[in-house]
Amino acid sequence: MKTENIIEKNKCTGCMACKNICHKNAILIVEDENGFQYPKIKKEKCINCGMCVRICPVINKL
């Protein structure tokens, strides 16, 4: 499975807004060695609608 980051892991807050807004269930939540959960985009399910990027409070500094 090919995955891609929405933003750099060290900038992600783990809010899961991207996962909650994705209507195609294309956001996979992975856990690093410290237990931090962050999103990755499942490329085969993603339709490139951009909703995950538009909702991200880090990217958009809401």
Are 20 and 26 spatial neighbours (Cβ–Cβ below 8 Å)? no
Residue 13: pLDDT band (50, 70, 90) is very high
The pTM assigned to this predicted structure is 0.86
- CATH number for the domain formed by residue range(s) 3-60: 3.30.70.3270
**Domain layout of the chain by residue ranges:** 3-60
**pLDDT digits 0-9 by tens, 26-55:** 999 999 999 999 999 999 999 999 999 999
